[in-house]
């Protein structure tokens, strides 16, 4: 950690593997964070983090700032839902240093997608700021929070194939831990005055860029932002429903966004029909800066990863855009092999040889078997006897990938075929797992059908 005024700025290495994908006219990162940083104080903290950009021809109208948050999911990150304000700053003396930066636009929002490479869009309200080609400006955010958490996301390893990024020294930070929020119009007067990331984080020996991007579509161009994307339900127990979770569709462009169609989803994902508080049924339009919400829920019926893709057709240049849904169903997955045992012909009142049935769990959590019972208790007493074999006594617990054997014998009490359906009373999604036992009662090796 590096000293910054009277504070410590924490640097935490994180490994992320999936880059965020979007149309971003201004960007300095390659889409994959390597560091998460935050003011390392247990008190009331405030941090401003911002990138410097140069206005390019054809991209003078800035409609939104897009920001990634925190380190990896395994680290202690700023919480989703934490209020913040995104800013656009001018550079009055055009020296590329934000010590005199002045706010020209702002957007109020909350942290989303913390701990991932997903970038959240914060849209400015029309009329959008229009900047002069060739001038420098700054974009970023300020958040006030408590505790030692990671807030900003840094990319250390340079370029990808989108654009050849400028060399370095484009990212800055200001902060405080004394309960006084950083003033967006006085960054140089913060307790930890604004300075380059290179100086503050790396003591001048290295550099990195914030995962902060800008949308600046050409005039009369609609642009769809989908957030969060992917929509991740994380781990949900099989047989339960989680949600609904909200996805925002925002027009960060400069013309009306016409949504023509939104693809359907199949179970285990589902969404309510269009109604109050969510996007209307397509077709519909979103004016620049406006948004609507889609709601999705996840109800897994089998263990493991589930994923779906929702196509959104519009008049945006990126159409069709794709919303990705993902979640993980957690639960046991019973495996019974074989699913039936046939003892063949056995003399009445004799005892058959023992046959084994293998039980396995291919799921993601323990399979708990509480009892074995006949499916139809109205039938005469069963001629089959079971023992728990290698499975032990009830309740039987099989961890994921574990197996054991149940043992059965057949002692016919009448002549002829005598099949029986059984159930394992368990914690699977259905509440019971079935199998069948069958055999034929004979007299001295000869079978007789009951009249």
pLDDT digits (tens, 9 = 90+) for 229-238: 889 999 999 9
pTM to 2 decimal places: 0.66
Give SS3 for 211. Answer: coil
Question: Contact 68/51 with Cβ under 8 angstroms?
Answer: no
Q: Give the number of other Cβ atoms within 10 Å of residue 301's Cβ.
A: 13
Question: Contact 432/426 with Cβ under 8 angstroms?
Answer: yes
Find the helix or strand (DSSP H, E) in which 118 lies.
none
Q: CA nearest 178: which of 2, 11, 3, 41?
A: 41
Q: Which long-range contacts (CB under 8 A, 24 or more apart) does 291-295 make?
A: 291/123, 291/248, 291/249, 291/250, 291/251, 292/248, 292/249, 293/246, 293/247, 293/248, 293/249, 294/246, 294/247, 294/249, 294/262, 294/323, 295/243, 295/244, 295/245, 295/246, 295/247, 295/271
- Tell me what pLDDT residue 388 has: 74
- Tell me what pLDDT residue 160 has: 46
| Residue ranges in 170-325 assigned as alpha helix (H) | 197-202
Q: What is the 3-state secondary structure (H, E, C) of 39-97?
A: ECCCCEEEEEEEEEEECCCCCCECCEEEECECCCCCCCECCCCCEEEEEEEECCCCCCC
Residues of each domain in the chain carrying CATH 2.60.40.10: 218-330, 334-447
Q: CA nearest 399: which of 356, 426, 363, 357?
A: 363
Please identify which residue in the block is written with the tokens 């800066």.
289
Q: Give the number of other Cβ atoms within 10 Å of residue 407's Cβ.
A: 15
Task: Write out the CATH class of domain 334-447.
Answer: mainly beta
Question: Contact 269/298 with Cβ under 8 angstroms?
Answer: yes
Please give the Cα distance from 374 to 384 (Å, whole number): 10
Please give the Cα distance from 365 to 240 (Å, whole number): 15
Residue 2: burial class (beta carbons within 10 Å; 0-12, 13-18, 19+)? middle
Question: Contact 217/252 with Cβ under 8 angstroms?
Answer: yes
**CATH architecture of the domain formed by 218-330:** Sandwich (2.60)
Q: Give the number of other Cβ atoms within 10 Å of residue 95's Cβ.
A: 10
Q: What is the 3-state secondary structure (H, E, C) of 343-385?
A: EEEEECCCCCCCEEEEEEECCCCCEEEEEEEECCCCCCCCCEE
- Tell me what pLDDT residue 22 has: 43
**Residue ranges for the chain with pLDDT beneath 70:** 1-23, 158-168, 273-277, 445-451
**Both tokens of residue 357?**
């049935």
- Tell me what pLDDT residue 162 has: 43
- Tell me what pLDDT residue 399 has: 95
Find the helix or strand (DSSP H, E) in which 222 lies.
none
Q: Are strands 269-270 and 291-298 parallel, antiparallel or unpaired?
A: antiparallel
Question: Contact 57/135 with Cβ under 8 angstroms?
Answer: no
**Both tokens of residue 236?**
């949900």
Please give the Cα distance from 311 to 44 (Å, whole number): 43
């Amino acid at each position: 950690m590096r000293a910054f005024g009277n504070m410590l700025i924490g640097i935490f290495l994180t490994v992320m593997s999936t880059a965020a994908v979007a149309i971003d006219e201004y960007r300095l990162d390659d889409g994959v964070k390597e560091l998460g940083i935050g003011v390392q104080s247990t008190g009331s903290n405030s941090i401003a983090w911002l990138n410097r950009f140069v206005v390019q021809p054809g991209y003078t109208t800035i409609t939104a700032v897009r920001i990634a948050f925190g380190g990896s999911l395994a680290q202690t990150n700023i919480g989703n839902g934490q209020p913040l304000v995104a800013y656009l700053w001018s550079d009055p003396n055009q020296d590329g240093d934000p010590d005199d930066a002045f706010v020209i636009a702002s957007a109020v929002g909350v942290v989303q997608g913390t701990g991932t490479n997903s970038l959240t869009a914060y849209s400015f309200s029309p009329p959008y700021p229009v900047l002069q080609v060739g001038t420098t400006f700054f974009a970023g955010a300020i958040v006030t929070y408590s505790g030692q958490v990671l807030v900003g996301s840094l990319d250390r390893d340079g370029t990808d194939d989108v654009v050849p990024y400028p060399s370095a020294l484009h990212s800055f930070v200001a902060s405080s831990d004394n309960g006084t929020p950083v003033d967006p119009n006085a960054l140089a007067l913060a307790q930890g005055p604004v300075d380059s990331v290179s100086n503050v984080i790396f003591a001048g020996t290295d550099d990195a860029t914030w995962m902060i991007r800008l949308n600046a579509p050409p005039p009369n161009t609609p642009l769809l932002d989908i957030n969060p994307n992917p929509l991740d339900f994380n781990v949900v127990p099989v047989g339960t429903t989680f949600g609904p979770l909200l996805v925002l569709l925002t027009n960060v462009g400069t013309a009306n966004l016409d949504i023509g169609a939104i693809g359907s989803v199949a179970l285990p994902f589902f969404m309510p029909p269009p109604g109050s508080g969510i996007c209307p049924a397509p077709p519909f339009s979103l004016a620049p800066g406006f948004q609507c919400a889609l709601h999705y829920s996840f109800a897994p019926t089998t263990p493991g990863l589930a994923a779906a893709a929702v196509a959104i057709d519009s008049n945006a240049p990126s159409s069709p855009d794709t919303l990705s849904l993902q979640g993980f169903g957690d639960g046991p997955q019973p495996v019974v092999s074989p699913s039936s045992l046939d003892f063949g012909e056995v003399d009445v009142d004799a005892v058959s040889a023992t046959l084994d049935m293998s039980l396995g769990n291919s799921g993601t959590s323990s399979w708990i078997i509480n009892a074995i019972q006949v499916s139809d208790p109205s039938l005469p007493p069963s001629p089959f006897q079971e023992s728990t074999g290698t499975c032990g006594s009830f309740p039987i617990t099989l961890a994921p990938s574990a197996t054991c054997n149940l043992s059965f014998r057949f002692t016919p009490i009448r002549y002829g075929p005598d099949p029986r359906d059984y159930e394992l009373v368990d914690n699977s999604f259905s509440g019971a797992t079935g199998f069948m036992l069958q055999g034929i009662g004979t007299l001295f090796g000869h079978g007789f059908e009951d009249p």
